[in-house]
């Protein structure tokens, strides 16, 4: 079984923000494949689905971004999932909007949700799907920017990117991380 984690913050006030791109992606899949997230004892909403032909547990930690590792560790322990079978979708300021990169064995890169995962999982051997949200182009504080909503023209780019993210995640599961990295990381140059 794979565990696909979408990082984000719980609550309606964060629902469509840049920082919640992981949740946005999982909600896109839930609508497309008609599965429902339910609360769990692990401080997360989760849904198990077989639409891709194999069991996948989709997880939205409800611990807030900076404590995401708490929920993911509990789930990994319960299901005895190896780190290499955990795929994390998260926002990335260092990538422009509309760009996605798959990474393995990397540091947190300043992302507090990833830092929490590395700390609580005891390593960085999980797969990261970094989704570009761009950087503020003015003096706007980064914290305000990541908690802002996408502009209307950006929202269309996000919708298109969700399909590419899905392709990347499925490639990871079906052909391996290297094949997924080669295809996804190079097709958007």
Catalytic residues: 19
- Are 130 and 136 in contact, with CB atoms under 8 Å apart? no
Q: Cα(146)–Cα(134) distance, rounded to whole angstroms?
A: 9
What is the C-alpha end-to-end distance of the chain, expressed in Å? 32
b/e per residue, 32-71, with b = 16+ CB within 10 A?
eeebebeebebbbbbbebeeeeeebbbbbbbbbbebbbbb
Q: Cα(135)–Cα(94) distance, rounded to whole angstroms?
A: 7
CA 39 to chain CA mean position, Å: 18
Task: Write phi, then psi, for 129 (nearest 5 degrees).
Answer: -110, 100
CA distances from 16 to 7, 11, 28, 56, 130 (A): 13, 10, 12, 24, 17
């Amino acid at each position: 079984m794979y565990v696909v984690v979408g990082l984000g913050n719980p609550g309606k006030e964060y629902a469509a923000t840049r920082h919640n791109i992981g949740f946005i992606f999982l909600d896109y899949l839930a609508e497309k494949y008609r599965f429902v997230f339910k609360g769990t004892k692990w401080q997360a909403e989760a849904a198990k689905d077989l639409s891709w032909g194999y069991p996948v547990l989709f997880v939205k930690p409800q611990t807030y971004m900076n404590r995401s590792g708490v929920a993911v560790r509990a789930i990994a322990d319960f299901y005895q999932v190896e780190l290499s079978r955990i795929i994390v979708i998260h926002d990335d300021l260092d990538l422009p909007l509309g760009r996605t990169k798959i990474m393995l064995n990397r540091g947190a890169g300043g992302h507090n949700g990833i830092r929490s995962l590395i700390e609580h999982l005891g390593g960085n051997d999980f797969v990261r799907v970094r989704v570009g949200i761009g950087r503020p182009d003015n003096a706007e504080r980064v914290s305000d920017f990541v908690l802002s909503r996408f502009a209307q023209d950006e929202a269309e780019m996000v919708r298109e990117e969700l399909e590419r993210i899905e392709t990347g995640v499925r490639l990871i599961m079906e052909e391996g991380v290297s094949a997924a990295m080669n295809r996804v990381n190079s097709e958007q140059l």
